[in-house]
Amino acid sequence: MKLDAKDFKRLQWAIAFLVLMALVGGGSVWTSRQLQKNSEKAFKEASAARHDIQSKLARAQEEQQELRDKIGRFQGLKSRGYIGPEQRLDWIETVARIKATRRIFRLDYEFAPQRPVDASILPGGATAGGFEIMSSQMRLQMQLLHEGELLSFLAELREAVQALIQVRSCTLERLPPGNADRGNNAQLKAECVLEWITLREGK
């Protein structure tokens, strides 16, 4: 079969059309892939932005709850009398009342002058949130029938006074026969060091 000039011309147009269609098809595929990539990128960016917003919202809610907790703790400390000048006279009266009520055989004590709490009690220092953390040390000696009397005394003392009481040290010794004060049946001698802690507004 022979092809004349007219046939070659028609073939040229057909070949050109096929090439054009191939280019169009390839361009469509490339465009589709680019659109898909752009869509995936936009989705990832939107997801990241949404996650960032959710994280910031969660942090804000946590900070709000933490602030509420701090306010609640502050109000609790204030209502217990932990904030402000020490109420030493009230403390002395409370100790005397508990001694009489519980019929403790012997109770002697001495308060040291108030001072900033030392590092052995609070390693972070004696200041916090605009307050100075103060302590009045009490050296206590008691004669008791049994150790339960000491525990009950400390528990009632903590509930009754306007201060945070921390037991620094406490020792119990059995009294030798005849060493108790005349007129009592004490079996034990207790020697304790207590820290009476309050908060004072910073200057």
Confidence band of 11 (pLDDT split at 50, 70, 90): low
Instruction: Look at residue 56 and tell me whether its pLDDT is greater than 60.
Output: yes
Sign of CA dihedral 195, 198, 199, 201: negative
Region 154-182: mean pLDDT is 84
**Residue 188 and residue 112 share a domain:** yes
**Residue 54 and residue 115 share a domain:** no
CATH number (domain holding residue 140): 3.30.70.60
Instruction: Look at residue 70 and tell me whether its pLDDT is greater than 50.
Output: no
Asked which of 53, 79, 105 is the last residue of a domain, the reply is: 79
Q: Can you tell me whether residue 152 is helix, strand or coil?
A: helix
Question: Pick the residue with more confidence: 7 or 34?
Answer: 34
Confidence band of 154 (pLDDT split at 50, 70, 90): very high
pLDDT the model gives residue 109: 95
Report how far residue 111's alpha carbon sits from residue 73's, in angstroms, rounded to the nearest whole number.
28
Report how far residue 167's alpha carbon sits from residue 19's, in angstroms, rounded to the nearest whole number.
94
**Residue 57 and residue 92 share a domain:** no
**Residue 155 and residue 115 share a domain:** yes
Write out the residue range of the structural domain in which residue 189 sits: 86-199
pLDDT the model gives residue 193: 95
Q: How much is the mean pLDDT over the chain? A: 75
Considering the domain boundaries, does residue 65 fall inside one?
yes
pLDDT the model gives residue 99: 94
Which of these, 132, 93, 112, 88, lies nearest to 193 by C-alpha position? 112
**Residue 65 and residue 114 share a domain:** no
Lowest-pLDDT choice from 33-47, 61-75, 90-104: 61-75
pTM higher than the cut 0.75: no
Q: Where do we find the tokens 């040229």?
A: 12
Region 145-167: mean pLDDT is 90
**Residue 94 and residue 39 share a domain:** no
Q: Count up the domains in the chain and report the number.
A: 2
Confidence band of 132 (pLDDT split at 50, 70, 90): confident
